[in-house]
Structure formats: C-alpha cells, structure tokens
Amino acid sequence: MKATVTAFEVLDALGLAQLQKRSGDLGGSVPLRVAQACAPLFEGNAFGFQITLRQPIVLRRSLGHVAVEIAAPYGEAFTAAHRAVLPRLVAQGILRADGLLPTMFADDFVKVASASPGEVRVHLWTGLCVRADAGVWLRVSSTANRRNRFFEVEEYFIADDGAFAPLMLEITLRPDAPDRLRIEGEIGTVAPVAPGARIEEIPLSQAPEIGAAHAAFYDAAYFDAKVDAPTRKYRKTSLPVADERASCSDAPARCRVITVGPAAHTLTGPMPRIVFSNLVPFEASYDGYTLAVQPDESVLRAGAREVERAFAEALGPTFLGENRRAMLYFTKYFTPHPPGEPHFFVKPWAFVQTPPGWSCLLEGVHGEGFDVLRGIVATDVFHATPAVFQVYRSGEPIRVAYGAPLLHVMPIPRRLLQAGFREATLHH
C-alpha cells in the first residue's frame, strides 16, 4: 500500500489473500447519518487492514469430520505453491526451518485443529508474512462491523523482533454454523499498534476538569441543535485536533480511566487495555422498526444515584442542576438510535483520557444475537467511550447479564491509524 508513513512490511508468498483498506462508509452501505456525523464508527469501519481471501474456502462438516475445499483449479494450485514456497522462505532466511509454519503447515496451508460436536477450529496460513517496524506491534483479530457471524478469529500480537512472521489465523466455528460454510472476502484484521501504554485508574474527584469538559460538550446549544439534525459537534471538535496532533510523540502513553460511578472494568494485557463490563442487566428486542431496551430498573436507579454523587463531589452541589441534560448521558445508561435502526448505545460509567496525539480503539464483543461495534475515539479531546450495539436477531430478545464484557478500549497513536505498509518480495 502506498502511504506517506508506513509501519510494517508485507510479503505475499502464496497469492491466497491480500490486505485491503476499507472505506469508512463500507462502500456506501452505512446509514447516511453515520457517514455524516458518527466519526468514531466511521473510523472504526476503516480501522487497520482487512485480510481478504482471493478465493473462497468451504468448510464441509460431516459425521465429526471437517473437509476443507477450494474450488478447482485453485485448491490444487495453492497447495502445490505452498509446498514449493516453504523451502524458499527458509533458504532466504525469511522463516526459520524449525518455525511454526514449516513444521505445522509442512504439507498444506490450512489445518483442521479440532473437530467435535461442540467445536471446530481451523488454522489458516494466509500466504502472507509480515514484519513490524521497531516500536510497533501488529494486532491480528477478527474483522468487525461487517463480518461472517458464523466464525470468530482469535486475537494475537506479532512483536517487533526484526523478523518476518507468517500471518496466520485461528478460526473457530460457532456451534450453529451450517455444515457447509463458505468463507470468503474479509476474514480478519491486521493493524499496527503501539506497546507499552500505561493506564492508571482514578476517581472523578481527582480529575474534575474531565467532568467539566463533558458538560461543556453536552451544553444547551448541543441539545437545541440536535432537535433538527445531527450536530456533528464531535467531528468539529476532534478531527482538526487529530490532524494537528498526529505528529506528536508516540512514546509510551500515560492514560487514565476515570470512574464516575459504579466500576465494572479491568485493566489487562498483553497490549494494555481497559475491559468494560455491563453494569445493568437488560434485554433488548428489535422488530424491524422499534428497538426496545428493558433494563433492571432498580439496578439502573441505584447506579445513576452513584453517578450523580460522584459528579457532585467532584464539581460541587450545583453542578447537577446546571448540567441536567449532560448528566443524562450517564444516568440513562442506554440511548436508542432513531426508529428503523437496530442500534443502541450503552454508556460505561467512566471516562478515558489519553495524551495528545493518542486515540482509543473501541473493540466490541460479539454476543448471542448482537455485536458491539468497533470504533475509534479521539480520547485526548473527548473522553466518553460508548458501546454501540447492533442487534441482528428478531423474534427473541438479546440478553446481557451484569458483569458481561462489552468493550475493550486500547490506546493507539494516531500516526499508526494513518500508517500504511511496504511490500516485500521473494528473491529469485
């Protein structure tokens, strides 16, 4: 890919897959309102590079056995090319002879790792090898916001050790996947990320300026303008700053998660992240027109009281009355989209703050009948990190329990969001 800044190298040794950059509007398929006003979702659609198959793969399950098929003549050609290219990759020092690819994939580029009535896992070498630049790691994961919902891809990271690594995917089929599953097009995402971010947790009382900034964003003018159309205020606030600060230092970031009520999150790795969990058990149903959310009202009311108490302690007793509508962002916890859209927001009771030039990747979980969508938020200027639900099941409500994970929030420098890759070639 041609780009002013690159962050990793890609070597295509097989011709099975390629890396492609999505458009934020997914080729014009997203709602107009999203394209016009929802910059975090728009950027989430375009995040990273999609690992895209050049030819479909069919997984055929029968009597506890799984067969892997690629339409002739491509299947035989890819298998033969795989066996021929492995010695070249080793001979040219691109891969080690005792590495995972030459040993595990000695005779084929795809392996059924397990096949049981409850689980089918497939290991696939995409035919690509990648090498991260110094100070950059590569995150390999499932694709998001537009995906085949019958399988998941295991997340893993490729470190900057100076060597090429085979870009492989561990694919797990859902139990309800059809016996003949066709896998094609976008099957995963690879993206450059930065290791070493530090995340500390503090209460709002230690960062009252973040609560004040929230109230300043959701002021009376915001709600007055929203009556007629999307305000685009986030886009106007964040994007010029994002462009201006994109060249700022990307040294290990010192980030903060700032609690504003009951806490249900953890800090974890290997790439530092905040994992937000659900604080109010609920059901949600969609009939094609109306999306109805039914929370546990007693839990919601108790949590909202704690949110109000946290803001009052941090910003004074008059703050609640003066910023009632801004407070509703958190105290309501749920916010629906307009009629006809199968989406709604869940608002974790916390802010996230990153240093200048850093945004956060919001990686949603996939649940029974729903996805929480992927997004990018410029958390150096806007500090809320909503979980955006997309419901794709009708006729039966989705259910999300207290403590169920919703969202993984990972700091990332914006220069890597904009970076491309360089293409390497095998020597003849």
CA 83, 87, 90, 93 torsion-angle sign:
negative
As a whole number of angstroms, the distance between CA 231 and CA 235 comes to 9
Which phi and psi angles does 339 have, rounded to 5°?
A: -55, 140
pLDDT computed for residue 244 by the predictor = 47
A 10 A CB-CB count for 87 gives 11
Strand partners, 116: 119
pLDDT (0 to 100) of residue 36: 63
Residue type, 51: I
Q: How big is the chain, counted in residues?
A: 428
Fold of 6-193: Deoxyuridine 5'-Triphosphate Nucleotidohydrolase; Chain A (2.70.40)
Cα angle value 339/341/343 (rounded, 5°): 115
> What residues form DSSP beta bridges with 352?
257
Q: For residue 29, what pLDDT is reported?
A: 81
Q: Output b/e per residue, 155-180; b: 16+ Cβ within 10 A.
A: beebebeeebbbbbbbbbbbeebeee
* pLDDT of the residue at 246: 46
At 2 the pLDDT is 47
pLDDT of res. 62: 81
Q: Which two tokens stand for residue 50?
A: 């999609």
Residue 377 to residues 385, 391, 411, 417: CA-CA distances in angstroms? 7, 22, 10, 11
**CA-closest candidate to residue 15, choices 94, 67, 79:** 79
With contact defined as beta carbons under 8 Å apart, do 214 and 383 qualify?
Answer: yes
Question: Which amino acid is residue 165, in one-letter code?
Answer: A
CB 7 within 8 A of CB 421: yes
Distance CA 40, CA 230 (A): 14
Buried b (16+ CB within 10 A) or exposed e, 303-313: bbebbbebbee
Domain segments of the chain as ranges: 6-193, 198-414
Task: Tell me whether residue 355 is exposed, middle or buried, using C-beta atoms within 10 angstroms of its C-beta: 0 to 12, 13 to 18, 19 or more.
Answer: buried
Residue by residue, what is the 3-state secondary structure of the chain?
A: CCCCCEEEEEEECCCCEEEECCCCCHHHCCCHHHHHHCHHHHHHHCCCEEEEECCCEEEEEECCEEEEECCCCHHHHHHHHHHHHHHHHHHCCCCCCCCHHHHHCCCCCEEEEEEECCEEEEEEEEEEEEEECCCCEEEEECCCCCCCCCEEECCEEECCCCCCEEEEEEEEECCCCCCEEEECCEEEEEEEECCCCEEEEEEHHHCHHHHHHHHHHCCHHHHHHHCCCCCCHHHHHHHHHHHHHCCCCCCCCEEEEEECCCCCEEEECCCCEEEEECCCCEEEEECCCCEEEEECHHHHHHHHHHHHHHHHHHHCCCHHHHCHHHHHHHHCCEEECCCCCCEEEECCCEEEECCCCEEEEEEECEECCEEECCEEECCCCCCCCCEEEEECCCCCCEEECCCCEEEEEEEEEHHHHCCEEEEECCCC
pLDDT, averaged per 10 consecutive residues of the chain (428 residues), comes to 80 96 88 71 95 95 83 85 93 90 89 77 95 97 96 96 96 92 96 94 97 93 69 63 50 90 88 96 95 97 97 96 94 90 94 96 97 96 96 93 97 95 88
Cis preceding linkage at 73, omega within 30 = yes
